[in-house]
Each structure stands twice: as C-alpha cells, then as structure tokens.
C-alpha cells in the first residue's frame, strides 16, 4: 500500500512542483510576463509541433490508430458536456456563466499536463496519444466555440465558428501530427542528426510548458463565482473522469488504454478555455477561477486516481 502511494506521488507531484517553480520564479521576478508569453509561443509553435511530429513519425500509424478508443472518447466527451450543461443550469446565474462552466468542465489540459502524466505513469508517451490529440483537439475547439457562442453575448457567432474551423487546419499541432502520420505511412527515414535535434526540442516541451502555466497563475482574483467554480472543478477532476473510467472498464478497455481515458478526462482545465471565453464575451472571471482551482487541486486528485489504478493492478 505504501509503495503504491509513493508511486502515485512520484507520478503526479513532479508536474505540480514544476508549475509551482514557475509561480515562484514569476513572484521572485526571475521571469516576467514577457518570458511567459514568449515561452507559450515557443512551445505552441516550435517545441510541441516538433515533438508531436517525431513521436507520430516513429510509430506505426495503422497499428496506433484505434477507432474504438476514439469513438469512446468522442461519445464520453459529449456525455460529459450534457452532464455539465444540466448541472450548470442549476448552478450558474446567467448564460455567460453557463458557457464558461461547461467549457471549464470538459476542456482538459491534455496536451501539456496530460502528456506529462502519461509519460510519468507508463515511462513513455503512449503511441495512441498523438493520434487521439489529432482528433480531439480540433473537436474541443469546435465544441468550445459552439457552446460559448450559444450561451454568451458575442455577435456574429456563425462567422466566429467558420473562422475557428478554418483556423484548425492552420493549427501547428494538427499540421505537425498530419505530417507525422504521412511520414509514418511512407516509413520516412530520419537521419540521426535530425532525430537528436528534434529530441532536444522535445525535451524542452514539458518543463517549459509547465513553468509557463505556473507563472501564469494570478492569486487574488475575484471569487464572486466561487461556488459554481468549485462545482465545475469537482465535475472536472472527480465526477466526469470517474464516470469515464467506469464506462471504459465496462466496455472492456484495459491497461494503457484505460489510463489514457483517465488522463484525457482527469487533467485540470486548459488555459485555452480562458482565452476562448474572453474572445467570445463569456464570463472570464469564472473561466479563470476554474483553471486556477482545478490546477491547484489536480495534484491531489491525480495522485488519488493513480494510487487507485496501482492498487487495482491496472498499472
């Protein structure tokens, strides 16, 4: 039992500590807002696309593609949105809050924190993860715009949806995964010097992203929407991932696939949800609160879930 708890803490705690280091470095003025902005741009447009391309190109795409798993994740996401919508209607005060509530409940930080957690649990990035990301990240964006446009006060909702759908095809993550799939299908040889170069960039991705997330924390935000934010956080970190994992077990998913289901639904809310909520005139205060609360509490919830998986012999 103690060994399982130690394993769980060793899996989730490093992620939190690196984010905490980013927060401390920002508070100590070692890094500033300019560094955080530059780091986010570098990770999003350079380091992460290189990592995704290399990871996908080195896997057998036809073997890594799992239509059953992807179908389950899509359906589970839609069910989670429906549950969040029902709870949000009983919890929030207005339509703008409702949109931020729903968005915060389903949109997890799968790319940065999820990748890190998966690597810590299994020792390497699951070959199915980039394929899942290639499908689910665009779906996240489309659903986010549709929900926020429906509930918020932003004008020209249809135009925003069209622009967002178009932007998906220019997303560096989508493009890099697509290039990686092509490289995998044609068995493109990658010279050793290029592989090592991409390895250096890949190694930068996780720590730099986590430092930037921690440095982005702003304590002292208004807590007028504290109650619905806490409710959304409980849904995001405990209820929805628990439902997803139980359903996955019922449908026969095991081992790494089951861990992937949890990681996909159990990570804290993505910072992208705040950016999109602001753009679509939603309740930005609630969006920020949900991100802060889920990120702070996720070190405990992720540790407990990993501990349960370890105790049950799943990992």
Q: Distance between CA atoms of 311 and 51, rounded to whole angstroms? A: 32
Alpha carbons within 13 angstroms on the beta-carbon side of residue 93 total 8
Q: Residue 242: its pLDDT value, please?
A: 94
pLDDT along the chain (315 residues), means of 10: 66 76 88 84 82 78 77 93 93 84 88 77 72 77 77 58 62 78 84 89 81 71 72 94 94 86 89 70 77 84 85 75
Distances from the Cα of 245 to the Cα of 4, 131, 262, 264, angstroms:
19, 20, 6, 10
Determine how many CB atoms are found less than 10 A away from the CB of residue 21: 16
pLDDT of residue 155: 53
Question: CA 121, CA 14: separation in Å to the nearest integer?
Answer: 12
Q: What is the full DSSP assignment across 261-307?
A: HHHHHHSPBPTHHHHHHHHTT--HHHHHHHHHHHHHHHHHHHHHHHH
Q: What angle do CA 137, 115, 70 make, to 5 degrees?
A: 45
The structure's pTM equals 0.76
* Start-to-end CA span in the chain (Å): 14
* Residue where the block lists tokens 């549709």: 146
CA-to-CA dists, residue 231 to 91, 206, 221, angstroms:
8, 29, 17
Q: Of 142, 117, 130, which Cα lies nearest the Cα of 173?
A: 130
Distance, in Å, from the CA atom of 121 to the CA atom of 80, rounded to the nearest integer, reads 24
Q: Among 81, 227, 64, which Cα is nearest to 150's?
A: 81
Write down the pLDDT at residue 223: 58
- Catalogue all structural domains in the chain, each as residue range(s) with its CATH number: 2-216+224-311 (1.20.1530)
Say how far apart CA 96 and CA 286 lie, in whole Å.
Answer: 9
Q: CB of 265 within 8 A of CB of 301?
A: no
**DSSP-assigned letter for residue 239:** I
Q: How many CB atoms lie within 10 A of CB 204?
A: 17
Name the packing angle between helices 67-91 and 240-250 (round to 10°). 150
Q: How far apart are CA 280 and CA 151, in angstroms?
A: 9
Tokens of 100: 């931020």
Instruction: Return the pLDDT at 219.
Output: 60
CA atoms lying within 13 Å on the CB side of residue 71:
5
The DSSP output letter for 30 is S
Which of 123, 85, 124 shows the shortest CA–CA distance to 103? 85
Torsion angle of alpha carbons 57, 63, 67, 72, nearest 10°? -90
DSSP-based three-state secondary structure for 108: strand
């Amino acid at each position: 039992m103690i060994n399982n708890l130690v394993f769980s803490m060793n899996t989730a705690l490093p992620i939190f500590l690196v984010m905490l280091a980013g927060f401390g470095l920002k508070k100590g003025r070692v890094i500033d807002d300019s560094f955080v902005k530059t780091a986010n741009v570098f990770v999003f447009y350079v380091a992460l696309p290189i990592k995704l391309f290399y990871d996908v190109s080195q896997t057998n795409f036809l073997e890594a593609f799992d239509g059953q798993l992807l179908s389950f994740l899509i359906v589970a996401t839609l069910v989670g949105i429906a549950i969040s919508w029902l709870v949000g209607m009983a919890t929030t005060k207005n339509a703008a809050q409702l949109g931020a509530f729903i968005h915060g409940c389903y949109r997890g930080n799968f790319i940065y924190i999820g990748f890190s957690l998966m690597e810590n649990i299994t020792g390497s990035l699951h070959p199915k993860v980039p394929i899942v990301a290639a499908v689910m990240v665009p779906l996240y964006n489309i659903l986010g715009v549709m929900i926020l446009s429906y509930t918020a006060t932003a004008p020209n909702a249809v135009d925003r949806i069209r622009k967002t759908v178009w932007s998906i095809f220019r997303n560096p993550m989508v493009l890099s995964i697509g290039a990686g799939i092509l490289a995998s299908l044609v068995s493109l040889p990658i010279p050793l010097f290029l592989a090592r170069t991409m390895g250096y960039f890949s190694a930068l991705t996780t720590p730099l992203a986590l430092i930037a997330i921690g440095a982005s924390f702003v304590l002292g935000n208004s807590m007028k929407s504290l109650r619905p934010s806490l409710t959304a956080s409980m849904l995001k970190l405990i209820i929805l991932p628990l439902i997803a994992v139980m359903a996955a077990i019922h449908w026969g998913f095991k081992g790494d696939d089951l861990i992937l289901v949890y990681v996909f639904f159990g990570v804290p809310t993505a910072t992208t949800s705040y950016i999109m909520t602001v753009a679509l005139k939603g309740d930005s205060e609630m969006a920020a609160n949900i991100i802060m609360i889920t990120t702070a509490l996720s070190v405990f919830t992720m540790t407990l879930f990993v501990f349960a998986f370890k105790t049950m012999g799943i990992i």
